[in-house]
Structures are given as C-alpha cells and as structure tokens.
Amino acid sequence: MSTIEIAKPAAQVMPGLQDYAAIVGEPEIIELRELARRLAGRRVKMVNSTAVGGGVAEILNRLVPLIKEVGLPTQWDVITGGEKFFHVTKAFHNALHGAPFEVAPDWADVFLSTNEENRRRMQFDEDFVVIHDPQPVALIAERDANPRRWVWRCHIDLSNPNAQVWDFLKPWVDRYDASLFSSPQFTRGLHIPQYLFYPTIDPLADKNRDLDPEFVSGVLEQFHIDPTRPILTQISRFDRLKDPVGVIRAYRLVKKYEDCQLVLAGGSASDDPEGAAVQQEAEQAAAGDPDIHILNLPPWSHLEINALQRASTIVIQKSLREGFGLTVSEALWKKKPVVASAVGGIPSQVIHKLTGMLVHSVEGTAYQIRFLLANPAFAQTLGENGHQHVKEQFLLTHNLKRYLVLFLILLEGD
Amino acid sequence: MTVSLEAKRAEQPFQFMAASYLIRIGAQPVHTLGDFAKSLRTCPQASIFYHTFQSLEAHHYTSFSSDFAQWALAACNEAALAEQLAVVDLRDIVSLEDLRNILVGIVDDHLKEHSQAIDRRAFEAFYFCEAKEVTVPIGSPASTLAELADGIRLLGHQSLHYHFINSRLRLQLKTNDFSYWIEKSLNHPWLAARLNRIDFYNDTLDELRQDILALLEPQESR
C-alpha cells in the first residue's frame, strides 16, 4: 500500500496532568490527584496488540503516562504474533462485528499458542492487569498462577457477534474480574461485572490541539485541496467496516448539487492485513475524480489529520460497524458538524440534531450533508454543542478517573 | 450582641467530599415497554437512582433529564409517557421505593390505555445501569460561609452533584448538604431555604455552581 511521505515530527513533549486544568478546570485535577493518592504505589499492566495505529494504541499512548504521573507505576506491553495469528484476530474482529468467520482450520491452535507464547514471555506481577480486546484475551490463563485483579477492556461492538467466535472467547472472558465496554449496547450479558468505559481523546495531543491557521492552509496546499470549496472528510483506517466506498457514493450524490470535495484520509495498523486491498477498492471507486483525495498517511501524521479535520466543512463517519469511533469525538472537539452512522458508540457522541446528524444509509448521508451545507448556522450550533458534549464525557481525564475508580472498586472487592 | 452571618463560625465544620462514579451495566436489556414495566419493579434501587437522580448530570442536550423518559420518547416514540416520567419532581422524593412506585404507576397507567404499546419493539433496547460511587474527603473543612463558597468553587462536577442533588436521598429531608449545614450549623434557615429553591433541573452543573455562589457571595461580602 503506497503511503504519502511525511517527515516524522519531533516527539511531542507529553503534557502533564496539570496542563489539562485549563480545559477541564482545576477542581477536576485536584480530585483526580486525591483519588490517585488512595492507590499510590499500586502497579498496573496494560496489554494490547499494537503499539501504533488504531484507537486503542492512541488511547494508551496518552493514558499510560498520566496513570504513572499520579503515582501508579504502569507497564504497557504489546503482544507479538506472526502473520497467521493476526489473520485469525482480524477474522475475529470482523466476525465479532457480525461478518462470516472465514479462517484456516487451525485457527484455534494458532490463536491459543500465540497467547501462550506471550504469556510465558511476559511478567504479571502488577496489582491490576488490563487486557485490551480479544487478541490477548487468553493471557488470563496466567491467573491460575498469579491471582491479581484482571480486567478485560473490550473496545469493539459485540452486539451482534458471530456465535462461533463468541462461544470460543466467552469462557476466557468469564474468568476476568470485570469487563469494560464502550457502550451498553456492546455488552453480552456476562456474569462478571460489566462497566461503561467511554473511550476518550486527548485535547492536548497533536491530533487535537489548536493549530495555527497557516499550518492548516499549508496542509491543504500540500494535498492539493481547494480551501474555497466545501470539504467533506472522513478520517479512518482503510477498513471495509468504515465503508470508504459508501462515502464516495454519498459524495457523488451531494456533488450533483454542491461543488464539493471529498477527503478520505487514514492509515493502517500493524495488526490489520486488509488495509491495502480496501484502499485499492476506494481508489477504483474514485475513478480518477480530481476532487476525491485518498490519503494514506503514516501513523505519525497527527498534525496533518488535525489540520484536515479543522479545514473540513463537514466531517463524515459512515461506518457500517464501529467500536466507538473516536474520530467522531475528534471532529466534535474541533466544533465540526458531523454526519455519522448510528452504529456502535457513535450515538453516544452524536445526539441526532443536537450534537450532529445520525444516518443509516448512503442516501441518508448525502441528504444530511446537503442539509448542513444549506444551513451553515445550524451546522455551527451542532459543532458548538458537540464540543461541549465531548468536554463533559470524552476527554482523557475522564478515562483516567474511570480507571482510578475501577481500581478502588476492585480493591474493595466489588 | 449579634454575630453577623459572615463572621459566624460553625462548631461542626462542613466536610467536602470528592465523589466519583463508575457505571455498571445490567446484564439483561429490555426491548419493549411491557418488559420495561416488569424490570422497573425488580431492578435494584441503585438503578432507579442512576436513571433519575444521577442522569440529571448528563442531559444538557436531550428533552428530558430522566433516562426513563428519554428512552420512552426516543426509542419507544411514546411522548405522553415520556412527559409523565419526566415531570416527577425529584425534589419531593426521599425514598427510592416511593420513586419506584410512582414510576411503575405511571407506566402501568399508560399501558392500560395504550395496550398496543406493551409488546411493540423499541428502536433501541434499554439497559438498566447503576452507578458505583467512590467518595473521599477533600479540601479543608468549611466553618464559615466564605469557606463554604471557597470549597464549592473547587468541587468537581460529580462532587457538586453529590452534595447538591444526590444528597437529597442520603439526607431524606428534601434538602441538600449545603442547605442542611447552613441551617443546622449556622442557624440561617432563610439562606438554606433560598439555596434549596435553585432549580437544578434546568442548570448545567457549572450554572448550578454559579447560582449557589451567587447566593452565598452577598452573604460573604455583607
């Protein structure tokens, strides 16, 4: 898959907790420190399957330093696995979102043996172990030898899972002390406690912080995007569940009435082997239209993504299935009107006609885009409301607080 | 000799608490109003609390502050039921069982008149949730009105909600922590009552804080 070359920026100095006081208010910071004081010295391990690309890695990149800062030493480990393993876990991912489960017959052996290899390689002596998503779920086997408090954080939509895959995973999940879901609709009626954990964005990260307008203009120029005509943007990995071809079809319906442009910008994650094929499908659907900009950006393009969102007239998230869709929160934070599918965790972020527009089809997407282009004052109100909604629910400091409360509850033996 | 209100020091200081919540999701969603009515009778009191008192914190953009009302409207398209569920004034409630009975009565009455709604599938399922609460003492205890105001300025949103709204059930006195303390410890029933009349239904928590401080500040500077 061809990727646009963007120079790696100098590493951003990670903000400290106090830096967030300007956004969430000093009282929230004081209370976070007070909560953390009750847990001082307790140790945490986070485990997931990729260090870069995708929402989970992004959350952990920002969250782990803050947990450390408030006094809980935290280790973030990434499991390793071969190509076969990640094909199986990608098939899991798709099947848990309702797609058919199509894998080689030895899939269970591949999955379990890779988990076992990782279990042997890793140390588990922390007070709290948080396992993210299905890929490392079988690490819970370690619990027999190491009875810490184990939590399974599920970032994906389990509302309509393939039964074969869920029946395989559920016995592993049932061994945890608690499970964390991004929306009530994602839960599966587990017997262990199920807690609501909205994913969050970091308002001070390069992807979300305020930008100099000249930088934004420069990015548009770099990608040959015309700032004088409406810009419709979808930011997401090249993944069929994000429906990039459906977005192009919606754009074509809008284009009949409005001389607009479409930006499909994203990258790929190291645990997703399908990205190249999906990008190719999108390019074929674009059929050389010069107003469709398909940008495969490297994982460090946070400032460019930020600039594209800020330059957008409307941000689209036309996913067919979605874990939570953090790109929606990112757009709302930038006060952008959002047109997004009513799937996964998106309705938690987009309250129809109040913080954005929810849609259910290609045609509906085009219809609402046209409505917002024709009603810019209403579009602006949606963006303002959306910003406030994110501020109250979906910022990194909320995530930090939820983890601290969770750990206190686990210690009390919920 | 009388002591002015701003100079008066309480013998029993006010202890601020930092309150934080984690939402626990119930195991079984309901898909129809008929099932909702059944679950409303049996769900934990903590769920009744979460979807009424606790949800006041979150609904700035929706039509109703009660989760039950919002679901009846948005997922069941039952506007009349939603309105009835929403207008139950939580300021009059001191017992969750009383509140449950009121809500069950409203739903039953509605379904008696609209039996076709009993088994009609909602657009979205309703998940009974409950909030797990963690509280820790925070800040310096307040002995004067000025110190109370200073502490309120430094309370997080959830803690403000805890002291002003959730406290009504804890105290079982149709009042809030601040009013209770002002009346009992500073012997100032007028100010306590005035504070208790603030309409928290139509405020964001930041607006609520400003309304409280606006009442306390003239007393501080008098």
pLDDT of residue A263: 98
DSSP letter for each residue of A323-375:
S--HHHHHHHHTT--EEEES-TTHHHH--BTTTBEEESSHHHHHHHHHHHHH-
The answer to whether residue A1 sits within a structural domain is: no
Mutate to test the interface with A, among B39, B51, B59, B61 (most CBs of A within 10 A): B61
Contact of B21 with chain A, judged by CB distance below 8 Å, is answered with yes
**Domain extent listing, chain B:** 21-130, 139-221
Angle at the Cα of A327 (from A369 to A305), degrees rounded to 5? 95
In a shared domain, residues A379 and A408: no
Which secondary structure element, helix H or strand E, spans residue B22, and what is its range?
Answer: strand B17-25
Question: Is residue B65 within 8 Å of B86, Cβ to Cβ?
Answer: yes
Contact B60 A388 (CB under 8 A): yes
Domain shared by A155 and A183, yes or no: yes
The pLDDT of residue A414: 47
Split at pLDDT 50, 70, 90, the class of A11 is: confident
- B180 near A CB under 8 A: no
Chain A partners of B154 at a C-beta cutoff of 8 Å?
26-27, 30
Q: For chain B, first and last CA: distance in Å?
A: 17
Task: Give me the number of domains chain A comprises.
Answer: 2
Mean pLDDT across B166-173: 83
SS3 A57: helix
Asked if residue A326 has pLDDT above 70, the reply is yes
Q: Looking at the complex, does the CB of residue B46 fall below 8 Å from at least one CB of chain A? A: no
Contact A392 B139 (CB under 8 A): no
pLDDT digits (tens, 9 = 90+) for A345-366: 999 999 999 999 999 999 999 9
**ipTM metric:** 0.89
Check if A288 contacts B (Cβ < 8 Å): no
pLDDT band at B5 (very low <50, low <70, confident <90, very high): low
Domain membership of residue A366 (yes or no) is yes
Q: Which residues of B fall within a CB distance of 8 Å from A351?
A: 61-62
Q: HSE-up of A47 (CA within 13 Å, CB side)?
A: 25
In this structure, the answer to whether residues A235 and A132 fall within a common structural domain is no
B79, B73 contact by CB (below 8 A): yes
Is residue A9 included in any domain, yes or no?
no
Q: Angle, to 10 degrees, between the axis of helix A326-333 and the axis of helix A302-311?
A: 60
CA–CA separation, B196 vs B203, rounded Å? 14
A117: in domain: yes
Q: Are B143 and B26 in contact (CB under 8 A)?
A: no
Asked if residue A399 and residue A386 are part of one domain, the reply reads no
Structure tokens given for A26: 């000093």
State how far residue B134 is from chain A, nearest Cα, in angstroms. 7
> A31 and A136, same structural domain?
yes
| Contacts A154 to B, Cβ<8 Å | none
Contact A393 B136 (CB under 8 A): no
Res. A1: pLDDT tops 60: no
Residue A351 contacts B where some CB pair is shorter than 8 Å: yes
B153 CB neighbours in chain A (<8 A) are 27
By C-alpha distance, the chain B residue nearest A192 is B27
CB A357 within 8 A of CB A368: yes
Whether B27 contacts chain A with CB within 8 A: yes
Interface size between A and B, measured as CB pairs under 8 A: 87
Q: Establish if A12 belongs to a structural domain.
A: no
Strand partners of residue A358: A340
Indicate whether A354 belongs to any domain: yes
Task: State yes or no: pLDDT of B62 exceeds 80.
Answer: no
A400 and A286 together in one domain? no
- Scan for tokens 């303390």, then name that residue: B181
Which own/partner pairs from A13-21 qualify as long-range (CB within 8 Å, at least 24 positions apart)?
A14/A62, A14/A65, A15/A202, A15/A204, A16/A69, A17/A66, A17/A69, A17/A70, A17/A397, A17/A400, A19/A204, A20/A203, A20/A204, A20/A395, A20/A396, A20/A397
- On whether the pTM is more than 0.90, the answer is no
Q: Which chain A residues have a beta carbon less than 8 Å from that of B50?
A: none
CB contact under 8 A, B132 and A27: no
Given a cut of 90, whether residue A104 has pLDDT beyond it is no
CB-CB: which of B136, B153, B159 is closest to A38? B136
Give B101-155 pLDDT, tens digit per residue.
999 999 999 999 999 999 999 998 999 999 999 999 999 999 999 999 999 999 9
Distance in Å, alpha carbon of B55 to nearest chain A alpha carbon: 13
* Residue B1, min C-alpha distance to chain A (Å): 39
Are residue A161 and residue A236 in the same domain, yes or no? no
Is the pLDDT confidence value at A146 over 80?
A: no
Q: What is the pLDDT of residues A259-302, one digit of tens each?
A: 999 999 987 655 566 888 899 999 999 999 999 999 999 988 99
A127: closest CA among A31, A197, A39, A60? A39
Q: Which of residues 121-150 of B touch A (CB under 8 A)?
A: 124-125, 127, 129, 132, 134, 136, 138-139
Residues of chain B positioned with their CB less than 8 A from the CB of A190: 27
Shared-domain flag, residues A337 and A189:
no
Q: Which residues contact B11 (CB under 8 A, 6 or more apart)?
A: B185
Range name among A177-186, B144-153, B162-171 with the lowest pLDDT average: B162-171
The Cα of B18 is separated from the nearest Cα of chain A by a number of Å equal to 6
User: Quick one: A257 and A166 in the same domain?
Assistant: no
Residue B1: the pLDDT is 45
Token pair 């006094």 is at which residue? A71
Q: What is the mean pLDDT of residues A364-381?
A: 98
Which structural domain range is residue A170 located in?
18-200+395-412
Looking at the fold, whether A217 and A88 belong to one and the same domain comes out as no
Instruction: Kindly state whether residues A247 and A295 are assigned to the same domain.
Output: yes
CATH of the domain at A346: 3.40.50.2000
Contact A38, A330 (CB under 8 A): no
Is a pLDDT exceeding 80 seen at residue B63?
no
